[in-house]
Structure 1
Amino acid sequence: MKLDWRGLTIWDWPLAGLLALALLLDGATASELGYDDRWELPGFLVVCALALLASRWPVVAGVGVVVVLLAWSVVLRLAGVAVPAAAGGLGAAEVVAVLAVIVAVVRRTSRSTAAGLVGLLLLGCLAVGVLRPEHPGAPQELGWSVVLPVVAVVAGWVLRVRDARQARELRAVVVATQLRERVALARELHDVVAHHIGGMVVQAQAAQAVALPDPGAPARVLPVIERAGAEALSAMQRMVAMLQDVDGDPVTPPTDLLADLRAAAVTSGDATAVRLAVELGEPVPAAVATTVLRLVQESVTNARRYAVGAREITATVRAGDGRVRVQVRDDGRHADRPRRSGGGGYGLVGMRERVQLLGGRFEAGRLPGAGWQVLADLPLRPEP
């Protein structure tokens, strides 16, 4: 299961605060009872550290907590030191840490692993209650040793179900975005390629009708051209029909890539200025030109939306040596992009899909220091 690092950060800060509060409570209890808390701190601190790591490495944290609890209990038994306990022989910080680990284990691991680790943690806690000397000031437990682990297991299961639901929703949105891009690209390819293939068929038919010299040559060659073109056109139409399974208006491919790129770079109002550099050393086919235009449009839109404090956006398009390269970068600060922002938020998915469908390479990410960069490299003609 892929971890949500942003979600883990949100989870870890409150847990760290709760563990610190529990450590203060243990210290206050030790002071009230006239007890030297130096015996409890080493074990408590290690267990708390493992609890903070549990959201990332739940198995390691679960086993580690059991080992530390048992090892430190043996040390306390050999030293004859009784630690003030909050429940089941554990200090307050240890209780919070164990519960946090149980939540993380149930949330992040498979069912069988979670069952085994939770059982191991509970057995370890029972062993701690037996190994550690009983402190005369230990409070009455009132069944909390049973209730709290159950609450932790339920909380972990609820978070597990929520994570699974969010993962399904995310996959569904990504798949829908990919489908929209595939459909749009199929329509664009249809508008461009079908036009040329249809023209080839018409020309072949006309050549057959008007050929005067060597009447045998057109009769031999042109029917083959016509048949091949007609079959290619029919096959492509079937493919597009299968892909076009959603409603929508056809997308018109660009007729003048340079003019369209300049229009995409126009700055209005308070929008960040765009510096455009275009070098078209080779003609760009219409299907590739459409993807290039969409890459620049989407990248400029994202930069204006997410680049905080950006002074300039640079867009570069170069065509030559059989390839076209697109680079869009800004000099702003980029916060985490929202997962859902209306129809947007998944523009990178769509851009990557377009480029890969044309046999190109796509990269996007933060620049060292500040700024964001989008890079794409596409072949001008289909690669063999």
Structure 2
Amino acid sequence: MLRDDLRTLWTAPRPPDAPARVRRDWVLLAAGLAGVALEAALRENVVWRPVAVVLAVWLCLLPLWRRTRPLAMVTLAFGSVILLPLASLVAAPREPVGLYTGAVVLVLVYALPRWGSGREIVLGGAVILAAFSLCAVTDETPPGEQVVGLVFLLLPGLIGAAVRFWTTARERQWEQVRSREREQLARELHDTVAHHVSAIVIRAQAGRVLAGADPSAAVEALEGVEEEGARTLEEMRAMVAALRDRGVGAELAPPAGVADLERLVRAPGGRLTVGLALDGEVDTLSPAVDAAVYRIVQESVTNAMRHAVSATEVAVRVTAERDTVRVSVRDNGQRTGRGRDGYGLAGLRERAALLGGTLRAGPGAEEGWHVEAELPRARRESGAHSRPRR
């Protein structure tokens, strides 16, 4: 089992979509160069000052590529660190060479397990340990302090590994949320279409009976409609059966929609007053959009009931325009951060994206929490969506 774990670590790929550079990289570079300048100007006991300054500037530049080239940056940084003890062995006096600003290499130690592949982590870890071992041999630091130094050196790597594990686990949770929302949407589409196909089959059967024996062509056409409708219904049931918790023989009924919002907001047990306003032709929406509107209002009102601080009412407005449907849910509670933007809203965003729309949620400009969604009356292909990486 240990061998399998080591093989898994060795073959682990890099995390996807690693950003090349972000704003904080330039802040780190500026802070590092400023530290080099101050230390070179103010510190008196610097051995080989020009060499130490050049090395420190070099180490400050390497973190710019720490996400895209983690192993190469660790090798260059700690390879340079290895050369200094070797040089100090043949030079006098035998004192440590370098500036304290060189501690920026700890950022590279963090980046190696955070952004590197399994192979890069193993090889980079070997380079780091080799550099530390050489420094420990050439230095006269007591063993206890060397152990503390090793822990201090490896701690950023442990933090990077923990952040990577946490991020991976969260990505899996997001994927589960998206999968559940897709499954729910597939169920609703299945129920809606199956409901209509069932009606087609029934009408075809009635048409065959009413046609009688005289119009044989009509009877033949009705038989074809009946056969095709029954086959379509059977194939759809088989296709979606694996996604359903209930059996394929369950009662087929359209999912809840805009027509059910009145009952939703009047449901007893809520601590808030919910006001509902419907504008436009909301009774002619497509089944998928109709169900999506209901789910958005249901989730948003439920979140307000559970989490709105000092709120007394929730305002729900559904506006059907010529090409779009707009949904707005706002409470009048205290203005808070994005802590309530959880997996439920993530699922709603996925549903809106599948239908070609958008959904935004966050604190209002003056009070409360606002959820705003815009859905097309006719489905459009949704674009690619991404989240920023840490």
TM-score scaled by length of structure 1:
0.61
Deviation track 1:150-173 (CA, whole Å, cap 9, x = no partner) reads 435654554454344434432433
1:245 and 1:223, CA in 2 relative to 1: closer, same or farther beyond 3 A? same
Please report how far the alpha carbon of residue 194 of structure 1 lies from its aligned counterpart in structure 2 after TM superposition. 1.8
Please report how far the alpha carbon of residue 207 of structure 1 lies from its aligned counterpart in structure 2 after TM superposition. 1.3
Aligned equivalents of 1:100 and 1:285: distance in 2? Answer: 53
Aligned equivalents of 2:352 and 2:209: distance in 1? Answer: 42
Number of residue pairs the alignment of both structures matches: 333
Is residue 175 from structure 1 mapped to residue 175 from structure 2 by the alignment?
A: yes
Alignment check: 8 A CA contact 2:363 2:370 kept? yes
**Residues 150-159 or 244-253, more deviating:** 244-253
Alignment check: 8 A CA contact 2:356 2:380 kept? no
SS at match of 2:230: helix
Cross-structure match for 1:33 = none
Aligned equivalents of 1:369 and 1:180: distance in 2? Answer: 32
Please report how far the alpha carbon of residue 125 of structure 1 lies from its aligned counterpart in structure 2 after TM superposition. 8.9
1:126 and 1:368, CA in 2 relative to 1: closer, same or farther beyond 3 A? farther
Deviation track 1:116-150 (CA, whole Å, cap 9, x = no partner) reads 77788789999999xxxxxxxxx941257864664
Cross-structure match for 1:361 = 357
Aligned counterpart in structure 2 of residue 103 of structure 1, from 110, 114, 120: 110
Deviation track 1:24-59 (CA, whole Å, cap 9, x = no partner) reads xxx9xxxxxxxx64777x979989988999998995
**Residues 346-355 or 45-54, more deviating:** 45-54
Alignment check: 8 A CA contact 2:190 2:240 kept? yes
Aligned equivalents of 1:290 and 1:374: distance in 2? Answer: 16
**Residues 281-290 or 198-207, more deviating:** 281-290
Residue segments in structure 1 that go unaligned for 5+ positions in a row: 5-15, 17-22, 28-35, 130-138, 340-344
Cross-structure match for 1:206 = 206
Please report how far the alpha carbon of residue 229 of structure 1 lies from its aligned counterpart in structure 2 after TM superposition. 1.1
1:204 and 1:258, CA in 2 relative to 1: closer, same or farther beyond 3 A? closer
1:166 and 1:382, CA in 2 relative to 1: closer, same or farther beyond 3 A? closer
**Residues 52-61 or 149-158, more deviating:** 52-61
Please report how far the alpha carbon of residue 313 of structure 1 lies from its aligned counterpart in structure 2 after TM superposition. 4.0
Aligned equivalents of 1:308 and 1:58: distance in 2? Answer: 46
1:127 and 1:163, CA in 2 relative to 1: closer, same or farther beyond 3 A? closer
Cross-structure match for 1:13 = none
Cross-structure match for 1:10 = none
Please report how far the alpha carbon of residue 305 of structure 1 lies from its aligned counterpart in structure 2 after TM superposition. 4.3
Q: How does 1:170-249 map to 2 (within 5 A)?
A: 170-212=170-212, 215-244=215-244
Alignment check: 8 A CA contact 1:58 1:104 kept? no
SS at match of 1:377: strand
TM-score scaled by length of structure 2:
0.61
Q: How does 1:1-384 map to 2 (within 5 A)?
A: 1=15, 37=43, 88-89=96-97, 93-94=100-101, 97-99=104-106, 101-111=108-118, 140-143=140-143, 147=147, 150-151=150-151, 154-212=154-212, 215-244=215-244, 253=254, 257-261=258-262, 263-264=264-265, 270-271=271-272, 273-281=273-281, 282-306=283-307, 308=309, 313-321=314-322, 323-330=324-331, 332-337=334-339, 345-357=342-354, 359-366=355-362, 369=365, 371-379=369-377
Cross-structure match for 1:134 = none
Aligned equivalents of 1:147 and 1:211: distance in 2? Answer: 94
Aligned equivalents of 1:45 and 1:311: distance in 2? Answer: 59
1:318 and 1:39, CA in 2 relative to 1: closer, same or farther beyond 3 A? farther
1:121 and 1:161, CA in 2 relative to 1: closer, same or farther beyond 3 A? closer
Aligned equivalents of 1:161 and 1:372: distance in 2? Answer: 36
Aligned equivalents of 1:90 and 1:250: distance in 2? Answer: 76
Aligned equivalents of 2:359 and 2:257: distance in 1? Answer: 26
Aligned equivalents of 2:256 and 2:190: distance in 1? Answer: 15
Please report how far the alpha carbon of residue 346 of structure 1 lies from its aligned counterpart in structure 2 after TM superposition. 0.9
Alignment check: 8 A CA contact 1:360 1:377 kept? yes
Residue segments in structure 2 that go unaligned for 5+ positions in a row: 1-14, 19-27, 29-34, 47-51, 382-390
Alignment check: 8 A CA contact 1:316 1:327 kept? yes
**Once superposed, what is the RMSD of the aligned Cα atoms?**
5.4
Aligned equivalents of 2:288 and 2:194: distance in 1? Answer: 12
SS at match of 1:208: helix
Alignment check: 8 A CA contact 1:300 1:313 kept? yes
Aligned equivalents of 1:150 and 1:253: distance in 2? Answer: 64
Cross-structure match for 1:31 = none
Aligned equivalents of 2:252 and 2:120: distance in 1? Answer: 51
Alignment check: 8 A CA contact 1:330 1:373 kept? no
Please report how far the alpha carbon of residue 97 of structure 1 lies from its aligned counterpart in structure 2 after TM superposition. 4.4
Please report how far the alpha carbon of residue 238 of structure 1 lies from its aligned counterpart in structure 2 after TM superposition. 1.2
1:276 and 1:64, CA in 2 relative to 1: closer, same or farther beyond 3 A? farther
